Structure 1
């Protein structure tokens, strides 16, 4: 086992982005740091596999011939629903020897089938979380985060979350500067922390059909510290407050007040995770006005105060 070896088992029906996204991150980190990862793909029998999008991948070798890698990264895709005979057996026999076991999207189903997630907290694509929980009750499924670390096992949500998790692992291996350089090169965010929800406020709500209401949704997102009262937002949409509130609820599936709460909470979480700004400064930037108002919002939604949230999810920014 070499410290920088990375193995990706591939199979018919694999999601190509689950493979190529993380591989680009790790390959880029190797180029930037001068300490490259030994990246290999392998299939049962060593033959080519056809991805869910129709692309053909030619693996480096046969799974039966590979040494135990430092990091085993199991991608997802339609092929995880009916895995090839022997793939789960291989994982059950060999995966536990790796220093890190990682899955992207529905790759968690393969890890669960091999018993590697028993007793662990894990996540997967939001559309599969219920299936994972029902099929494998020994797994503690958390449907919210984009990725979850539990000991040496890490699981991630949909395809782009695999990139986020790969960046987190690169930061662990090579430091923040390398991870940031890779993220900039790939034009992705560094860093979406694992606890970030799979759905942003904008995705959790429906997009309004009418242009004035869509513009209001965008305005709320861009101005969390503004006057976001129903009266002010209704004026922006050129509607009466009563008509605006009814139309917003009908077209987005949530009330204006609830949408504003989600946007402000999401913005505050991001600032606590990614900056060293004080709680008072963040409370003003997010429209709460006072630290106490922000604290009440956090306790109500997350069961924890802002300062504790920062200590838990981004201790490096804690004074």
Structure 2
């Protein structure tokens, strides 16, 4: 059985979001051609109006006409890019996504393509991911979606997958090929593309956010700046509450409401990001970095790093130093 893979094109799309999954599925199809009984993949780029699709960087692709709703499709891929914001206001595109979903085995988004799935109502009540830089925006826009900025990709529901930014679309496409035809074929395609089948660190986005959520109330913002200026400080709840001129209980409640997470979690996140930078920018030992960033011991840093980043500090340094 040949599986149809349909990639939606639109103005301002991210080129890699198209090319990455396209090359994975077509590459798998080429390897499957020697075993026609296993089927293959029929991959197409489509748009509601056939013709040239201009990407954000000026590269153009030619898209054929999108299948009519009711057509049986194996996999629909919704790429991202800066053009997604304009497409969200195009009701014809959103209605097409909503209409083809019931007859599609897998609905897949890459990067900010998750916004289009959410706009179509396909992520309501689901956990989803997107590019880390868009996660906060998506969480605000779609409170019914549980947005997780950490994973490379997530199976958001029985038939919906969401992937993080740009090259994460390749990771997800390889995983879908593996689901369809097994690890050996997925590994063969990955080798052909000179990629690991699974990244070091598993399913975690390595790109460290350069932002932290900012509170509206000045005392809470001041506490955030205090933590970020000195990640290795004690930063106990009583001390932070004193800095905000609040009782510990009121401070914890207010901080969580303003920032979106408790003070202790925020402190750990700031410390982990500080350690992450020092691991790549210095040759200091993990023990020294752990002490400087407020973890106390290398083992505490290691546990936090594995929980938040997905790899040990040593593995992270080897990959990104």
The question of a shared fold, defined as TM-score above 0.5 by the shorter chain, is answered with: yes
- How many angstroms apart in 2 are the aligned matches of 1:216 and 1:202? 22
Shift of 1:119: 1.4
- Map 1:18-167; keep pairs closer than 5 Å: 18-34=17-33, 35-64=39-68, 67-83=71-87, 84-149=90-155, 150-167=157-174
Instruction: Indicate yes or no: 2:287 matched with 1:229.
Output: yes
Superposition TM-score, scaled by structure 2 size: 0.66
- How many angstroms apart in 2 are the aligned matches of 1:45 and 1:56? 15
Residues 138 and 269 of structure 1, relative CA distance in 2, 3 Å threshold: closer
Alpha-carbon distance in 2 for matches of 1:268, 1:135: 26
TM-score normalised according to structure 1 size = 0.66
Pair 1:259–1:187, CA change in 2 (3 A): farther
Q: Is the Cα contact below 8 Å between 1:29 and 1:179 reproduced in 2? A: yes
Aligned to 2:306: 265
* Deviations 1:119-174, CA, capped at 9 Å, x for gaps: 11111111111111111111121121110002110000011111100000000011
- Cα offsets for 1:211-269 (capped at 9, x unmatched): x983516xx6xxxxxxx432xx8xxxxxxxxxx966xx5xxx99994895269737996
Q: Equivalents in 2 of 1:53, 1:254: separation in Å?
A: 43
Kept in 2: contact 1:45–1:64 (CA 8 A): no
> Displacement of 1:97 after TM fit?
1.8
183, 187, 196: which one pairs with 2:190? 183
Equivalent-residue separation in structure 1 for 2:64 and 2:98 (angstroms): 21
Counterpart Cα distance in 2 of 1:129 and 1:201:
13
Deviation at 1:71, TM superposition (A): 0.6
Change (3 A) 1:185 1:139: same
Compared CA separation, residues 195 and 88, structure 1 to 2 (3 A): farther
Kept in 1: contact 2:9–2:63 (CA 8 A): yes
- Structure 2: gaps of 5 or more residues: 34-38, 211-272, 316-321
Match of 1:216 among 265, 283, 296: 283
- Structure 1 residues 195 and 129 mapped into 2: Cα distance closer, same or farther (>3 Å)? farther
Of residues 192, 196, 205, the one that matches 2:203 is: 196
**Structure 1 gaps, min length 5:** 221-227, 234-243, 272-284, 287-319
Q: Say if 1:77 and 1:107, in contact at 8 Å, map to a contact too.
A: yes
Q: Aligned residues, how many?
A: 243
